[in-house]
Amino acid sequence: MSGAVVFGMCGVAVVGLGLYSLITNPHPLRKIIAFNLVGSGAFLIFGAVARRSATTAFSGDPTPRALVITGIVVAFSATALAVALLLRLFDAAGSATLGADAQSSTADDASGR
C-alpha cells in the first residue's frame, strides 16, 4: 500500500466528515470549518493523484500541486469573506444563526445601521 493510497483514503474520509458536519452542525462558524475540511480533503485527493505518477526522476506531477496552492489561497479568501459576513450579521442582529425564525428579527435591526 503506497502513500498515495493511504493519504488519498485519508482525504476521502475527511471529505465525508466535513460533509456530515456541514449538514448537521447548527453553528455557522462550525459550518465554515466543515466546508474547509471538505476542501482540504479534496486537496489531499489531488495530492494523492499527483503522487501516483512519482518515479525516480520526478517526485510527482507538478500541475495538480500548483492547482492546490492556488486552491489554498482562494479557499482562504472565501473563508475570510464568510467570516466577515458572519461577524457583520452577528453585530447587526445580535445573533448569528441560520434558523428560519432568526430571519425576521435580523431584518429590522440591520436596517437601523
Partner 1 sequence: MSIQTALELVLAAVVLGLAAWAVAARETSAAVVGFIAYGLLIALVWVALGAVDVALAEAAIGGGLGGVLLLSAGARLRENEKRAAAERPGAGARLAAAALSAMVAAGLAVAVLRLPTPAPTLAPQAAANAAATGMGNPITNVLMAFRAMDTLLEKFVLLLGLVGVWSLAADRLWGGNPGPRHQADPLGLLAFLARLLAPIGVVVGIYMVWTGADHPGGAFQGGTVLAAMWLLTMMAGLTDTPPVSSLRLRLVLVAGPGVFLVVGLAGLLFGAAFLSYPAAYAKPLIVAIEVAMTLTVAATLTLLSAGAPEQRLER
DSSP structure class, residue 94: S
Judged by CB under 8 A, does residue 107 bind partner 1?
Answer: no
65-to-32, 36, 41, 42, 83 alpha-carbon distances in Å:
24, 18, 14, 12, 27
**Contact track, partner 1, 76-95, x by CB under 8 A:** xxxxxx-xxxxxx-x----x
- Nearest approach, Cβ of residue 105 and partner 1 (Å): 11
Asked if 10 contacts 44 with a C-beta cutoff of 8 angstroms, the reply is yes
First-to-last alpha carbon distance for the chain, in angstroms, is 59
The yes or no reply on residue 51 touching partner 1 (CB under 8 A) is: yes
Q: Output 6 or 107, the one with its CB closest to partner 1.
A: 6
Asked if 53 touches partner 1 (CB under 8 A), the answer is: yes
Q: Please state the closest distance from residue 107 (CB atom) to partner 1, in A.
A: 16
**Using the rule CB under 8 A, is 106 a contact of partner 1?**
no
